[in-house]
Amino acid sequence: MVMQNLRILGLETPLLQRRLIASWPTVAGDAIARYTTDVSIYNQTLYVRLSVPALRADLSMRRQEFVKALNDYVGGQIIADIRFS
């Protein structure tokens, strides 16, 4: 009932986006979260800023794995891609 009301008010997606952003450290793990400086969502793309450039290439190869894990974690199709910078 609550989610239905949120959907009607147009608040379900923003709430799920915030949950997804908050779940990044849990899904990515402590080692990766330690080097994450910023996480945001724009147009169904999660943007993750990292403080270690060498980590970008490794994580970029695992993009789809992270997309699936994050969407599964929040229970909805919130993001379609991840960009690391």
CB 20 within 8 A of CB 78: yes
Does pTM top 0.75 for this prediction? yes
pLDDT digits (tens, 9 = 90+) for 31-78: 999 999 999 999 999 999 999 999 999 999 999 999 999 999 999 899
Listed residue (50, 46, 42, 76) closest to 64, CA to CA: 46
CA–CA distance from 50 to each of 15, 67, 85 (Å)? 24, 17, 6
CB 74 within 8 A of CB 40: no
